[in-house]
Amino acid sequence: MSDLLSRRRKTPWIQQWSRPILAAIAVLGMLNTGYITLTKLSETAAACPTEGCDTVLASPYATVFGLPLSLFGLLAYTAMAGFALAPFVVKPEQNRPLRTKLENLTWLLLFVGATAMLVFSGYLMSIMFTKFVAPLGMQGLCLFCVASALFALALFVITLLGRSWEDLGQLLFVGTIVAIATLVTTLGIYAPIDGRQPDSTAQTSSGQPGYAIQNTSGQAEIALARHLKQIGAKMYGAYWCPHCHDQKELFGKEAAAIFNYVECAPDGQNSQTEVCQTAAPKIEEQTKQPFAFPTWEINGRYYRGIRSLEELATASGYTGPTNFTQR
């Protein structure tokens, strides 16, 4: 008995409580991703302390294989909670060999899962800060996403510290393989974010071009685009935004090249990030909604989301032909 107590006293507290701590963090991650999934499936706005959550969660980066990305996060956190608690199902005094086998197996699964989640979360954080925070400032910050990344980081750290790993070289090897596999898979998922091809003809300046516009403009579309340019109307968007591309498709490629388009992505062609950051607070104050792409500025008023050509004609006071091809 005294030897057992002595060994327990020598065991760091983090290793004694590592599995309950891991389970608690995983449960917090489940609550976080579960709530996001619920809002996505019910098509309701998330109750976010900042105004950037809706913008980020409505982007194509928040959907994978037609399902909310948060759903996959929920499954991952659920699995991590299961790995952390699984050995407690078997009492050591009843079946110690099975308990030991479960502990060894689940520790490896915890490390693999935590490594994969950390790499994936790191990639998503880079997307959020480069695609949203950079052009929009704090309006592009999603606290739910940040919380999930912090949970993933905490799981990884506690997994490393929560056990006396015997072979650190093997652990490093496994971690490297998992990290590379996760990164390659992630890049494969997001590379063709919606299957559209970049516009190979838009190479007049440095930066990423938008998606190629397929529709051909009619005379009515061209006349409306010229009118919008004449009155100083603007469309705020980003080259990677599928909704912005859909808006341009309503005009057709000839007309879309006429009206004023403001590129908000810092790595997009003819980027005007500072203009977007200046406009964002005004847009949110007037619309009472987060700044999202696309947003139109017409005669001092802001219109969020894709708008039909008829709506744009009415808002801008256009009086020309309205036999638009795309509706």
CATH code where residue 262 lies: 3.40.30.10
Task: Please state, in angstroms and rounded to a whole number, the distance separating the CA atoms of residues 80 and 69.
Answer: 17
Assess whether 106 and 181 both reside in one domain. Answer: yes
Helix axis angle for 96-127 and 69-85, nearest 10°, is: 150
pLDDT digits (tens, 9 = 90+) for 273-308: 999 989 999 998 998 888 888 999 999 999 998 999
Q: Average pLDDT, whole number, for the chain?
A: 87
The CA distance from 11 to 109, in Å, is 22
Give residue 195's pLDDT: 47
Q: Residue 312 falls within a domain, yes or no? A: yes
**241 shares its domain with 166:** no
Contact 190, 242 (CB under 8 A): no
115-155 pLDDT tens trace: 999 999 999 999 888 877 877 777 678 899 999 999 999 99
In the chain, what percentage of residues exceed pLDDT 90? 54
Q: Do 183 and 224 belong to one domain?
A: no
**Helix, coil or strand: residue 236:** strand
- Across the range 96-107, mean pLDDT stands at 91
**Are 48 and 172 part of one and the same domain?**
yes
Q: Tell me, what's the pLDDT at 327?
A: 64
For position 50, what pLDDT does the model report? 66
| pTM, full prediction | 0.69
Does the structure show a pLDDT above 80 at 77?
A: yes
Q: Is 178 in the same domain as 58?
A: yes
Q: What φ, ψ does residue 78 adopt, rounded to 5°?
A: -65, -45
Strand partners, 271: 263
Look at the chain and report how many structural domains it folds into.
2
DSSP string, 69-136: HHHHHHHHHHHHHHHHHGGGGS-TTT-HHHHHHHHHHHHHHHHHHHHHHHHHHHHHHHHIIIIIIHHH
**Alpha helix positions (H), 196-318:** 219-230, 242-251, 253-256, 273-287, 309-316
- How far apart, in whole angstroms, are the C-alpha atoms of residue 62 and residue 180? 22
Print the domain residue range for 120.
9-190
Examine residue 207 and state whether it is found in any structural domain, yes or no.
no
Residue 213, domain member (yes or no): no
- Sheet containing 295-298, strands listed edge to edge, beginning at the edge strand earlier in sequence: 260-263, 234-237, 295-298, 301-304
In a domain, 198, yes or no: no
Query: Rounded to an integer, what distance in angstroms lies between the CA atom of residue 211 and that of residue 106?
Result: 45
Q: β-pairing, 301-304 with 295-298?
A: antiparallel
Burial degree of 106 (CB within 10 A; 0-12, 13-18, 19+) = buried
pLDDT in tens, 168-207: 899 999 999 999 999 999 988 887 654 444 454 455 456 7
d(CA 131, CA 134): 6
Looking at residue 259, the DSSP 8-state letter turns out to be S
Question: How much is the pLDDT for 23?
Answer: 97
Q: Would you say residue 318 has pLDDT above 90?
A: yes
In a domain, 84, yes or no: yes
User: In this structure, are 277 and 153 located in the same domain?
Assistant: no
CA angle 291, 119, 112 (to 5 degrees): 140
Higher pLDDT, 113 or 137: 113
The pLDDT tens digits of the residues spanning 221-269 come to 999 999 999 999 999 999 888 889 889 999 999 999 999 999 998 888 8
CATH number assigned to the domain comprising residue 27: 1.20.1440.130
Based on the domain organization, do 176 and 256 belong to the same domain? Answer: no
> How much is the pLDDT for 18?
94
Q: Clarify whether residues 89 and 145 are in a common domain.
A: yes
